[in-house]
Amino acid sequence: MSVKRITMKHSSLLIAFLTLFAATSTAQCRTFTKKNCLPILDGYVQNENYNSAVLIPGDEAELELTFLADTDYRVAVCSHPVLGEVEFDVLDEQNVRIWSNSDGSDHLDFRMTGAQRLRFRVKVPETEAAILHEGCVSILLGSKE
């Protein structure tokens, strides 16, 4: 067996292991979201989109979405405790910040009088720790009449 073939075989195996590892992270994130985040939407009907990602300190996530008139909404930002207190703010179409979770809240309840696209910005705080942990962050949407 040539050295080249052995290297290729090993590279393929490594890629397979890394893919398995990434898939495991994603699966963990889905389970985390279902167990820890969906309950925050209690009383609201969840939107059909699934918005979750594995983030590290210093990462940001953004969601832009149209909210329809005469509807009550709850937007929940849920993150794994290993990431610390994530910052979460809401900007309108003109990029004006209309709310932030300075009180540490994990959700915002609001009602629209007309349709408007809002931007939800989530920032994972930086850390000085030598070891960087990654954790799941989810932005979930619920609505009701």
Cα dihedral across residues 28, 51, 141, 82: positive or negative: positive
**Of the candidates 37, 41, 67, the residue with the CA atom closest to the CA atom of residue 138:** 37
Contact between 136 and another protein (CB under 8 A)? yes
**Count residues contacting another protein (CB under 8 A)?**
76
Contact between 139 and another protein (CB under 8 A)? yes
Site for another protein (CB under 8 A): which residue of 8, 15, 31, 85? 31
Of 29 and 76, which has the nearer Cβ to another protein? 29
Of 39 and 68, which has the nearer Cβ to another protein? 68
**Of the candidates 85, 93, 73, 84, the residue with the CA atom closest to the CA atom of residue 140:** 73
| Distance separating alpha carbons of residues 73 and 45, to the nearest angstrom | 9
Q: Using CB under 8 A, which residues numbered 51 to 70 contact another protein? A: 51, 53, 55-56, 58-70
Helix or strand or coil: residue 2? coil
Shortest distance in whole angstroms from residue 104 CB to another protein: 15
| Distance separating alpha carbons of residues 3 and 39, to the nearest angstrom | 54
Site for another protein (CB under 8 A): which residue of 76, 77, 80, 86? 80
Of 85 and 92, which has the nearer Cβ to another protein? 92
Q: Using CB under 8 A, which residues numbered 87 to 116 contact another protein? A: 92-94, 96, 98-99, 108-116
Of 61 and 76, which has the nearer Cβ to another protein? 61
Separation in Å, CA 76 to CA 1, 46, 47, 85, 103: 56, 11, 12, 14, 14
